[in-house]
Amino acid sequence: MSTAVADPFRFFALHVLRARRVSPSLVRVTFGGAELREFRSHGLDQSLSLFLPHPGQEEPAVPIELGDSWWQAWRELPDDVRAVMRSYTLRALRADADGVTTEIDIDFVLHGIADEGGIEAGPASRWADRAAPGDRVLLLGPAVADNRAIRFRPPDGTDLVLLWADETALPATAAILEALPAGTRVRAWLEVPHAGDVHDLTTAADAEVTWFVRDGHGAGQDSPMALDGIRAAQLPSAERPYVWIAGESGNVKALRRHFVSERGFDRRAVTFVGYWRRGLTEEQLREQGE
């Protein structure tokens, strides 16, 4: 049985079912496991914490048997033993006829060694690139479908949805677009490293999607490529627009300033999420937040 952490979140012991490259920058890993029957989520930009083993380990080292004390004990493990922890968003889930979750998909961004902007492949990218059926992981995720790790929440009466994402937030953006009902007006600006990362997105919404391809210009540059395009954009008239922007934190802040300060949007209707920060690992970001 999974160990509860803080309702509505818990640990799930999972294994890889399959993995496939969906674009030059993304690999989709499908996970399964008996404990998924307790997994619940409405999807959208559902945030998850994934714990991965180091090379040579059969499973990630996380002392979940300690209950609520697991976090401090995990932090105190040696660097080469302590499981690699990374944050991701749920790309998709599938359930059986009884509504029991049977599979979930997570998309991993693959940064090559000395890739764009000098970014080197981190442990999660290396793991995803080698992922094979049977590989074991540990997931900290929701057991209640409507939970605080879902940030995309347009207020009632929203009549225009505006989205910006880089490749790290592309899986969440795709899931959001799939969930939006017909008739929803959407403008989306998406930034990706390579032309091969551009692909059709499924949605019933009335969506206009603009892609920006960096093509070697580097991830997390001083301002998003889309900023000038968004500034110049003639947006559809709307009384209650809602903005969701996610990706590199510096770019997210620049876009938030644009929508709140330059366009005068109500800051309460702008959701902004920094998935990563240029020049910092997730461990460094976590230390800064403590």
pLDDT score at 112? 54
Q: Do 94 and 172 share a domain, yes or no?
A: no
Q: Do 25 and 116 share a domain, yes or no?
A: yes
Alpha helices of 40-106 — where are they, by DSSP H? Answer: 70-75
Residue 193 and residue 219 in contact, taking contact as beta carbons nearer than 8 Å: yes
CATH number at residue 169: 3.40.50.80
Q: Do 61 and 116 share a domain, yes or no?
A: yes
Average pLDDT over residues 120-124: 79
Taking the CB of residue 69, how many other CB atoms lie within 10 A of it?
Answer: 11
Residue 275 and residue 247 in contact, taking contact as beta carbons nearer than 8 Å: yes
pLDDT score at 221? 53
175 located within any domain: yes
**DSSP code, position 61:** B
CATH number at residue 19: 2.40.30.10
Please count the structural domains in the chain: 2
- In terms of residue numbers, what domain contains 252? 160-276
pLDDT per residue over 129-148, tens digit each?
999 999 999 999 999 999 99
Residue 119 pLDDT greater than 80, yes or no: no
Q: Do 140 and 182 share a domain, yes or no?
A: no
Predicted TM-score of the model (pTM): 0.89
* Residue 280 token pair: 């910092």
Q: Do 186 and 271 share a domain, yes or no?
A: yes
In degrees, rounded to 5, the angle at the alpha carbon of residue 46 between the alpha carbons of residues 65 and 43 is 115
Question: How far is residue 155's CA from residue 177's CA, in Å, rounded to a whole number?
Answer: 16
pLDDT per residue over 39-52, tens digit each?
999 999 999 999 99
19 located within any domain: yes
Residue 122 confidence class, pLDDT cut points 50, 70, 90: confident
Alpha helices of the chain — where are they, by DSSP H? Answer: 70-75, 123-130, 170-179, 226-232, 249-257, 282-288
Average pLDDT over residues 77-85: 96
